[in-house]
Chain A
């Protein structure tokens, strides 16, 4: 039997005493499509960085074709045939496609002058070898994400890699683009290139991989051929226990109340059309759909960021016009964005400032903020949301992902939100905190009659927390069903059917 392409043996990696990888062993055969699965923080990206020579393992060894590689650096990793396509592609939006393709190789050839003919030839060859069509003279920034990804792949292939690592490659792609990508991946496999596919999307892993290795808290908790796995077993391996069977059941309020929010024939040019559904007080409704289904645009509309919508939106029985963010907030709509670091948090500011960000106007007495009261309210919210922090004046960046998310949700609870739109409420939150955040959301809803619209791709999350799930596809609302009597796999099947 030939020796494996790459073999990690008992790799340990510590960061300032914190264990990131604990005794990880991993084998990738030539030409195999291997999937590395795990929650955020499970150690996936640390493994990528060790294989590509960015980090040096604290213990353990790496073998390429059976030969141990000592002191691996990014350059020597490349010479061993390892290429990584990062999530952000590391491309230049202000340069042309051909330059993006050829610059690295021109650089490594030690040239000082650019031979434009050579650049174009190299680029044309790279693109032709992928059997795709790309305008070589287009500025990269003008291409869609899928096109930029093709350029990134083409660039990686130029150094004739034997292992191509793709970090969450499907995140920003539509379903159709994912299919194109998978066709390409299989074709590369046909050329003998091994692919290490890093993902947390169950469906995609099962669709493309031959081997699946699951990581949890820096350890390998399961590894084996595709046939051994199904969604349940992967989930179980990833989170460490059976997905909880607990679900949320909506109790209609004792006294009849108008729907918290009601949409009638709401449309947005270029986003979605003719959306109608309602959220009752105390209800958690899940909203899912593929990227490009219009779900994000719908959420943005509810938060007043797409004022050009048409149709009727009613909140607590009143017709409202959500013309801007302030208007939406005034009507009790709150939005927790998916990209917490860039859209949710003021990282260098204190926990208190982050919690109170939209409350200061309310806390002002004749123009001046009542800081005693502000402090009391912030402390109260820290307790209420069970945020673990030594004190409220610490910068919020010192908190863990789960606690940070509690801060962002807490911010809106302080402003008397009545409709909470949560976009990816637990993206990037570790498994333990995830359950805690879910419990908190359910408790809030049960207690205070706020309604929650939960946008998520995470089927267990939706099924466990929502009383109903609404599916969007290509800008339309295609399904609306209660979760009481569906299983997670049935929901996953419904989602999979949306192509």
Chain B
């Protein structure tokens, strides 16, 4: 029991539970099915990108290029679709994912071969890719009328559809299912494959991992490529769900991703972190924004709240680590 209580997943889950209960008591609207459904839907994009950031962080790195890779992969894919009048769904997602994967390879190259600090590398690649996207490929928004319709239709698929008492329809986006499926895949990789355990081993002690026979080069490439691929996928899904392809979108959200992953108990020094924790961390950020709206607090307070939560969570973690080290 005490072991369970010590896990960061448990702590963040309890905090979340308390937040949900308090919000619901203050405004019962929070517990309405429609609100819960929209909450879940809001997790999808941040969640998928955060999974990639998690994998990199477990390996002992950091990836702040994710949102920029997402936008680049998405925009190139959409432009390609418009040029060729392609009407499928599956292939565009494969292409967008592949572009993200290739860009992730760029990170892996600089991190592994050049041995530069991941933070600086991903800052550089992120800036570069964004600059190339906006400077060479284009800056114009692709709005609802021009967007490939089949993508929008696909992203509008509902898992559950019902009538609310007031006559409006409420639905749960099927994209939540995709998010959960990807989370399960990443969890499976982390917990049940050798490369997954290699990520933890390398994040714990790179030299020892090498001595134990892990191929640290392959693991590094795997981490950054997976992160890039998830970014590419999330990018296309994002514009399909929001009906607007704006290559400037998501800039700055890399900090939210890091915050979510760290809130979920992953260590910025590597070797620690879990999919469940990250999902809870993402949910926490989404919930903060949602709760402020529900409680009629001006949305301008969102950032303040997120900042305070991140600082508090990090302070508590640092305090706990130091107490554990002293004991």
Residues on A close to B: CB < 8 A?
A: 88, 90-95, 99, 103-104, 106-108, 111-114, 116
Closest-by-CB residue of B relative to A106 is: B194
User: Which of A92, A107, A114 is B204 in contact with, Cβ under 8 Å?
Assistant: A92
Q: Does B67 contact A (CB under 8 A)?
A: no
User: Which of A92, A104, A108, A113 is B192 in contact with, Cβ under 8 Å?
Assistant: A113
Residue contact A113 to B194, C-beta cutoff 8 Å: yes
By DSSP majority rule, is chain B's interface helix, strand, loop, or mixed? helix
List of A residues within 8 angstroms of B187 by Cβ: none
User: Which of B196, B205, B271 is A90 in contact with, Cβ under 8 Å?
Assistant: B205
Residue contact B211 to A90, C-beta cutoff 8 Å: yes
User: Which of B193, B200, B208 is A112 in contact with, Cβ under 8 Å?
Assistant: B193
A103 to B205, CA, bound (A): 14
Residue contact A94 to B193, C-beta cutoff 8 Å: no
List of A residues within 8 angstroms of B204 by Cβ: 92-95
Contact digits for B188-223, partner A, Cβ 8 Å, 1 yes 0 no:
000111111100110111011101111000000000
By DSSP majority rule, is chain A's interface helix, strand, loop, or mixed? loop
Give the total of B residues in contact with A, Cβ under 8 Å: 21
Residue contact A107 to B203, C-beta cutoff 8 Å: no
List of A residues within 8 angstroms of B207 by Cβ: 90
Closest-by-CB residue of B relative to A99 is: B197
Closest-by-CB residue of B relative to A74 is: B211
A108 to B194, CA, bound (A): 11
Given A94-B271, A95-B200, A95-B201: A107 and B194 interface contact (C-beta under 8 Å): yes
A106 to B195, CA, bound (A): 11
Residue contact B193 to A103, C-beta cutoff 8 Å: no
Residue contact A94 to B192, C-beta cutoff 8 Å: no
Q: Does B272 contact A (CB under 8 A)?
A: yes
A113 to B190, CA, bound (A): 10
Residue contact A103 to B208, C-beta cutoff 8 Å: no
Residue contact A108 to B213, C-beta cutoff 8 Å: yes
Given A99-B197, A103-B197: A90 and B208 interface contact (C-beta under 8 Å): yes
Residues on B close to A: CB < 8 A?
A: 191-197, 200-201, 203-205, 207-209, 211-214, 271-272
List of A residues within 8 angstroms of B205 by Cβ: 90-93
A93 to B203, CA, bound (A): 10
Residue contact B212 to A90, C-beta cutoff 8 Å: yes
A13 to B211, CA, bound (A): 23
Measured CB to CB, the closest approach of chain A to B57, in angstroms, equals 13
Residue contact A103 to B201, C-beta cutoff 8 Å: yes
List of A residues within 8 angstroms of B208 by Cβ: 88, 90-92
User: Which of A91, A94, A107, A113 is B214 in contact with, Cβ under 8 Å?
Assistant: A107
List of A residues within 8 angstroms of B203 by Cβ: 94
Residue contact A114 to B192, C-beta cutoff 8 Å: yes
Measured CB to CB, the closest approach of chain B to A97, in angstroms, equals 14
A-B contact pairs, 13 of them (CB 8 A): A91-B205, A92-B204, A92-B208, A94-B200, A94-B203, A94-B204, A94-B272, A104-B213, A107-B194, A107-B212, A111-B194, A113-B194, A114-B197
Measured CB to CB, the closest approach of chain A to B317, in angstroms, equals 15
Given A103-B212, A107-B213, A107-B214: A92 and B200 interface contact (C-beta under 8 Å): yes
Measured CB to CB, the closest approach of chain B to A227, in angstroms, equals 37
A281 to B82, CA, bound (A): 88
List of B residues within 8 angstroms of A116 by Cβ: 192
Measured CB to CB, the closest approach of chain B to A173, in angstroms, equals 20
Measured CB to CB, the closest approach of chain B to A301, in angstroms, equals 16
Closest-by-CB residue of B relative to A91 is: B208
User: Which of A92, A99, A114 is B209 in contact with, Cβ under 8 Å?
Assistant: A92
List of B residues within 8 angstroms of A113 by Cβ: 192-194
Measured CB to CB, the closest approach of chain A to B100, in angstroms, equals 23
Measured CB to CB, the closest approach of chain B to A11, in angstroms, equals 23
Measured CB to CB, the closest approach of chain A to B103, in angstroms, equals 26
- Give the interface centre of A92, A99, A113 by most chain B CB atoms within 10 Å: A92
A90 to B210, CA, bound (A): 9
Known: A107-B214, A114-B193. 18 other contacts (CB 8 A): A90-B208, A91-B208, A92-B208, A92-B209, A93-B204, A94-B203, A94-B204, A95-B200, A95-B204, A103-B201, A103-B212, A104-B213, A107-B212, A112-B194, A113-B194, A114-B192, A114-B194, A116-B192
- Give the interface centre of A93, A99, A103, A111 by most chain B CB atoms within 10 Å: A103
Closest-by-CB residue of B relative to A141 is: B204
List of A residues within 8 angstroms of B271 by Cβ: 92-94
* In the complex, the 7 A-B pairs of residues with the closest C-beta atoms, listed nearest first: A94-B271, A94-B204, A90-B208, A92-B204, A107-B213, A90-B211, A104-B212
A94 to B209, CA, bound (A): 12
Measured CB to CB, the closest approach of chain A to B8, in angstroms, equals 14
A88 to B208, CA, bound (A): 9
A95 to B204, CA, bound (A): 8
A116 to B196, CA, bound (A): 13
List of A residues within 8 angstroms of B211 by Cβ: 90
Given A92-B208, A103-B212: A112 and B197 interface contact (C-beta under 8 Å): no
User: Which of B194, B195, B201 is A92 in contact with, Cβ under 8 Å?
Assistant: B201
Measured CB to CB, the closest approach of chain A to B275, in angstroms, equals 16
A99 to B209, CA, bound (A): 12
Measured CB to CB, the closest approach of chain A to B326, in angstroms, equals 10
Closest-by-CB residue of B relative to A93 is: B204
Measured CB to CB, the closest approach of chain A to B239, in angstroms, equals 35
Residue contact B213 to A112, C-beta cutoff 8 Å: no
Closest-by-CB residue of A relative to B195 is: A112
List of B residues within 8 angstroms of A88 by Cβ: 208
A112 to B197, CA, bound (A): 10
A90 to B194, CA, bound (A): 18
A99 to B205, CA, bound (A): 14
A94 to B192, CA, bound (A): 16
A106 to B191, CA, bound (A): 14
List of B residues within 8 angstroms of A104 by Cβ: 212-213
List of A residues within 8 angstroms of B193 by Cβ: 112-114
Closest-by-CB residue of B relative to A88 is: B208
List of B residues within 8 angstroms of A103 by Cβ: 197, 201, 212
A103 to B209, CA, bound (A): 10
A116 to B197, CA, bound (A): 11
A103 to B197, CA, bound (A): 8
Measured CB to CB, the closest approach of chain B to A95, in angstroms, equals 6
A108 to B200, CA, bound (A): 18
- Give the interface centre of B201, B209, B271, B272 by most chain A CB atoms within 10 Å: B201
Measured CB to CB, the closest approach of chain B to A141, in angstroms, equals 9
List of A residues within 8 angstroms of B213 by Cβ: 104, 107-108
A479 to B123, CA, bound (A): 61
Measured CB to CB, the closest approach of chain B to A428, in angstroms, equals 20
List of A residues within 8 angstroms of B192 by Cβ: 113-114, 116
A384 to B211, CA, bound (A): 44
